[in-house]
Amino acid sequence: MAASRRIKLLAGVLSGSLVLAAFLASQARAETPESYPSKPVRIVVPLPPGGATDSMARMLAERLASASGQPFIVENRPGASGAIGADAVARAKPDGYTLMVSIGSTVSLVPFTTKVPYKPDAFLPISELARTPQVMYANPNIPAKDLPSLVKWAKANPGKLSFASYSVGTQGHFAGIRLNQLAGIDMLHVAYKGSAPAMQDLLGGQVQVMFDALLPAMNYVKSGKLLALATAGTERSPLAPNVPTFRELGYPEMEQFNGNFGLYAPAGLAPALAGRLEALARRAVNSPEYLSKVKELGLMEPETTQIASFSKRVREDQAKWSSFVNRIGYKPEM
Output the pLDDT for position 6. 53
The domain that contains 103 carries what CATH number? 3.40.190.150
| 11 is a domain residue | no
Indicate which CATH number applies to the domain containing 177. 3.40.190.10
Indicate whether 21 belongs to any domain.
no
Which residue, among 67, 36, 48, has the nearest Cα to 265 in the 3D structure? 36
Residue 272: predicted pLDDT: 95
Contact (CB, 8 A) for 176 and 248: no
Q: Are 107 and 185 contained in the same domain?
A: no
Judgement on whether residues 204 and 271 belong to the same structural domain of the protein: no
What pLDDT does 132 receive? 82
334 in a domain, yes or no?
A: no
Residues 284 and 226 in one domain: no
* Domain housing 127: 38-133+258-328
Which neighbouring-strand residues pair with 231?
Answer: 135, 245
In a domain, 4, yes or no: no
For residue 276, tell me if it sits in a domain. yes
**Residue finishing a domain among 256, 288, 320:** 256
Q: Is residue 102 part of a domain?
A: yes
112 domain residue, yes or no: yes
Q: Are residues 141 and 230 in the same domain?
A: yes
Give dist(CA 54, CA 69) in Å, integer: 22
* Nearest Cα residue to 55 out of 168, 191, 194, 190: 194
Q: HSE of 264 in the Cβ direction (CA atoms, 13 Å)? A: 33
Domain match, 288 and 314 both: yes
Residues 52 and 123 in one domain: yes
Q: Which of 241, 256, 271 lies at the terminal end of a domain, its last residue? A: 256
Please give the order of strands across the beta sheet that includes 123-133. Answer: 72-76, 41-45, 98-103, 258-266, 123-133
Same domain membership, residue 236 and residue 156: yes
Round the average pLDDT of the chain to a whole number and report it.
Answer: 87
For position 26, what pLDDT does the model report? 42
Q: What is the reported pLDDT for 101? A: 98
Query: What one-character-per-residue DSSP string does 86-102 give?
Result: HHHHHHS-SSSSEEEEE
- Cα distances (Å, whole numbers) of residue 26 to 19, 59, 94, 186, 192: 10, 35, 20, 64, 49
Per-residue pLDDT tens listing for the chain (334 residues): 455 555 555 455 445 554 444 444 444 454 588 889 999 999 999 988 987 789 899 999 999 999 999 999 999 999 887 889 999 999 999 999 999 999 888 999 888 888 889 999 999 999 999 988 789 999 999 999 999 999 999 999 988 999 999 878 788 889 999 999 999 999 999 998 888 899 999 999 999 999 988 777 888 999 999 999 999 988 888 778 999 999 999 999 998 888 889 999 999 999 999 999 999 999 999 999 999 988 887 788 898 999 999 999 999 999 988 988 888 787 765 5
Q: How far apart are CA 25 and CA 134, in angstroms?
A: 50
What's the domain count of the chain? Answer: 2
pLDDT of residue 334: 53
Res 328: pLDDT: 79
Alpha-carbon separation of residue 157 from 161, 189, 262 (angstroms)? 8, 16, 39
The amino acid that residue 99 corresponds to is L
Q: Single out the residue in 240, 256, 272 at which a domain terminates.
A: 256
**Is residue 252 located within the same domain as residue 221?**
yes
Q: Determine the pLDDT at residue 76.
A: 96
- Same domain (yes/no): 242, 308: no
Is 293 inside any structural domain? yes
Dihedral (Cα; 52, 57, 58, 62), 10-degree rounding: 140
Same domain? 108 vs 152: no
Which pLDDT value is given to residue 21?
47
Residues 82 and 156 in one domain: no
Q: Are residues 151 and 246 in the same domain?
A: yes
pTM, entire model:
0.75
